[in-house]
Structure 1
Amino acid sequence: MRHVDVVLPCLNEAAALPFVLSRIPVEARAIVVDNGSTDGSAAIAEAHGARVVEVRQRGFGAAAHGGLEEATRPVVCFMDADGSLDPGQLARVVEPVLTGAADLVLGRRRPTCRAAWPWHARIGNALLAARLRRTAGVSLHDLGPMRAARREALLDLGLTDRRFGYPLEMVLRAARSGWRIAEVDVDYAPRAGGRSKVTGTVRGTLRAVADMSRVAAR
C-alpha cells in the first residue's frame, strides 16, 4: 500500500477519526480534508498521523477533489471518515487497480445491520445505480463511497461538480472514457457519533439524489 493515498473528506468527524485512522493499512498515507469542522477534527487527525488539508469551499465534491489534488501517490482511494466503512478493507478496492485488472473500483456496501443504511438512502442509491446500468452501461449496484483509481487518470477526467454529484460524475466520466469499472463487497456499519449528515435523514438523501440527478442529466 506504499503506492496509495487515502482521501477522507471530513466535516465534524471527531468521534470516528481515531478508529478510522488506526485502521488505515500500513504504508498507505491518509489525507484528511477538513471542510469546515468545528469539533477539533483537524487536530485529532494530525495527532493520529494524517496529513490534514483545509478546503474552505463547502461541499463533498470540493473536499474530495481537494484531497485528490493534494495526493501524490500513483493510486488514490476515497472513503468516508465517519466510521461506517472499515479502512482495513481498502485492499479489496485497491488490488484490482494495482494489478491492472480494473481502472476504477467501487466498494459495494453490505450493511452489517439494518441501522447501517436507512431505507430512504438505500432506495435512492438503488435508483441511481439502476439508471447508470440503463443509460451508461455500467454494471454497478451501488455508488459506494469507498473507491480507488489511478491519480493521473482521475485528474484527467476533469471533474467539475463540487457537491454530492461528485461521486456520480466520476463514474459517468470514467464510463464515457472507456474505463473498466468494477465493484467488490465491503462492510457497511452505522456511522460513529450519530446520524449521517446526508443519508441519516430523508431531506439529506433527497438533496444528495438531486445533486446526482443533475449531474446525470448533463
Structure 2
Amino acid sequence: MPCLNEAETIESCIAKALNFLKENNISGEVVIGDNGSTDGSQNLALALGARVVDVKEKGYGSASRGAIEAAQGKYVITADTDDSHDLENLMPFVKKLREGYDLVMGNRFKGEKIENSMPFLHRYLGNPVLSFIGNLFFKTKINDFHCGLRGINKKAYQTLDLKSTGMEFASEIVVKASMLNLKITEVPTTVFPAGRTRKAHLRTFPDGWRHLRFLLLYSPKWLFLFPGLLLLLIALIATVYLVVKPEDNLIKWLPVSSSLILIGFQFILFYALTKIYATNQNLIPRGKNYNNLFKYFTLEKGLLVGFLMILGGSASLIYCFLAETSSFEVLKLLIPSAIFTALGVQLILFSFFFSILGLVDKKE
C-alpha cells in the first residue's frame, strides 16, 4: 500500500489486511511504500507488524512501485491506505491469481454501491470515459481502469518495467499488461467512503488529464496514425474534386485542402518516429510487427520515392510558371504541385531520421 500522511486510516487498513491473511490461512505480509509521511504513519504501521519501505521519489506511482517491488510474495495485492477498499474480502483476487491470471482488477461498479463512496464526477464521467478510451486503444475489457485494489503475479509485474510516478500508474499497469498479452480479468469489489478527514491527494481534473495524456502517448496509432489517415483521405478527396471540377466559388478552398494533405502526412510520419523512439527507450513493449517497419521501409526506398515526388512536383511547378493559360487554370495546378514537392522533401528527411533510429535499434 502506498502511503503519504495516512495516520487516520493506516492502522485500520493494515489490521484488515492482516485479518484477511489470518482468516484465510494465507502466508503473506503487509508492505507500506511510504512517500515521506510526517504524521507518524510509519511508526503506526511498524507497530502493527507491517514492513515499511522508504520511497524517496514523490508520487502515488513511485510509492506503489516501491511497495510492490519490495514485496516477497508470489502474488501481490495493492490497495490505497485511505480505508476505502474492502481488504477483508480479497479471496476473489487470490482465486483468479491462483487460476493463472497475471493481473486481476477490482471493479467498483459491479460491487455493492455505497452512498458517497466515490465522487459524482469520478463515478459517472471520469472513470467510465477513461476506461472506455483505454479499452478502445488497447483492446482490453476492463470496466474500471483506475481501481486501486488489484492483484498481480509478481513475476508478471517484473516484465512490465513500469515507470509512472503519479496517479497514471493505475493506467500504466493495465496498458502494459495488455500490450504484453498478459492474462487479465476483473472481479467485483466494494468501495467505501474514505476514512480520512483531510483532503484526498487525488486531484480530479489534473490527474484525470494525466491519465488521458498517458493513454494517448502510449497509443501512437490513436494519437497520430488514425487521425492522420482520416485527415489525409478527406483532404485528398477534396483536393482531387477541386482540381477536376473547379468552380470559381470553391477554388478558394484549394489551398486549405492541399495544406491538410501535408498536415495529415506529418501525422503519419510522427506516428512512425514516435513508435520507434518509444520502443527503443522501453517506454512501450516491442510489438510483433515492429521489425516489419524496417523490413518494408528502407532509406533507399524512401529516398527514391521522395526524389520522384520532388521531380514530379517541380516539373509541374515549372509548367505552371511557363504556361500561357489563365490564372485560374494555373492556380488549380500550382498549389497541389507545391504541396506534392513539399511532401517529397518531408519523406526524404523522414527517411534519414527513420534510418538513424533503426541503427540505434540494431545496435541495442
The residue type equivalent to 1:29 in the other structure is: E
Structure 1 Cα separation of the partners of residues 114 and 185 of structure 2: 24
Structure 1 Cα separation of the partners of residues 201 and 40 of structure 2: 20
Instruction: Assess if the C-alpha contact under 8 Å between 1:21 and 1:45 holds in 2.
Output: yes
CA displacement at 1:111 relative to structure 2:
5.5
Instruction: Determine whether 1:126 maps to 2:125.
Output: no
Distance 1:196 1:155, change over 3 A: farther
Instruction: Determine whether 1:142 maps to 2:144.
Output: yes
Please name the residue that 1:194 is paired with: 197
Instruction: Assess if the C-alpha contact under 8 Å between 2:30 and 2:51 holds in 1.
Output: yes
Instruction: Assess if the C-alpha contact under 8 Å between 1:105 and 1:183 holds in 2.
Output: yes
Please name the residue that 1:3 is paired with: none
Structure 2 Cα separation of the partners of residues 191 and 29 of structure 1: 23
| SS at 1:36 equivalent | coil
| SS at 1:183 equivalent | strand
Q: Which moved more, 1:30-39 or 1:190-199?
A: 190-199
| Cα deviation code 1:42-72 (max 9, x no counterpart) | 0000011100111111101100111122112
Q: Which moved more, 1:183-192 or 1:106-115?
A: 106-115
Structure 2 Cα separation of the partners of residues 112 and 23 of structure 1: 20
Pick the structure with more helix per residue. Answer: 2
The residue type equivalent to 2:116 in the other structure is: A
Match of 2:164 among 158, 161, 166: 161
Please name the residue that 1:116 is paired with: 117
Please name the residue that 1:43 is paired with: 43
Q: How many residues align?
A: 206
Structure 1 unaligned spans of 5+: 1-7
CA RMSD of aligned residues (A): 1.4
Q: What are the residue-to-residue correspondences of 1:21-32 with 2, within 5 Å? A: 21-24=14-17, 25-26=21-22, 27-32=27-32
The residue type equivalent to 1:57 in the other structure is: E
| Cα deviation code 1:71-117 (max 9, x no counterpart) | 121111111111000211222212111221x2210111136422110
| Cα deviation code 1:136-185 (max 9, x no counterpart) | 11111112111111112111111111111111011001001111211111
The residue type equivalent to 1:163 in the other structure is: G
Instruction: Assess if the C-alpha contact under 8 Å between 1:111 and 1:189 holds in 2.
Output: no
| SS at 1:115 equivalent | coil
Q: What are the residue-to-residue correspondences of 1:1-218 with 2, within 5 Å? A: 8-24=1-17, 25-26=21-22, 27-100=27-100, 102-109=101-108, 110=111, 112-122=113-123, 123-143=125-145, 144-194=147-197, 197-199=200-202, 204-218=203-217
Q: Which has the larger radius of gyration?
A: 2
Please name the residue that 1:5 is paired with: none
Q: Matched residues, percent identical? A: 30
Instruction: Assess if the C-alpha contact under 8 Å between 2:13 and 2:81 holds in 1.
Output: yes
Structure 1 Cα separation of the partners of residues 201 and 121 of structure 2: 11
CA displacement at 1:194 relative to structure 2:
2.2
Instruction: Assess if the C-alpha contact under 8 Å between 2:74 and 2:154 holds in 1.
Output: yes
Instruction: Assess if the C-alpha contact under 8 Å between 1:198 and 1:208 holds in 2.
Output: no
Structure 2 Cα separation of the partners of residues 69 and 105 of structure 1: 17
Instruction: Assess if the C-alpha contact under 8 Å between 2:28 and 2:73 holds in 1.
Output: no
Distance 1:95 1:156, change over 3 A: same
Distance 1:178 1:161, change over 3 A: same
Structure 1 Cα separation of the partners of residues 45 and 196 of structure 2: 16
| SS at 1:88 equivalent | coil
Structure 2 Cα separation of the partners of residues 15 and 59 of structure 1: 20
Structure 2 unaligned spans of 5+: 218-364
Question: TM-score, with normalisation over the residues of structure 1?
Answer: 0.89
Structure 2 Cα separation of the partners of residues 82 and 211 of structure 1: 21
Distance 1:196 1:179, change over 3 A: farther
Distance 1:141 1:195, change over 3 A: farther
Instruction: Assess if the C-alpha contact under 8 Å between 1:111 and 1:117 holds in 2.
Output: no
CA displacement at 1:196 relative to structure 2:
5.2
CA displacement at 1:198 relative to structure 2:
3.8
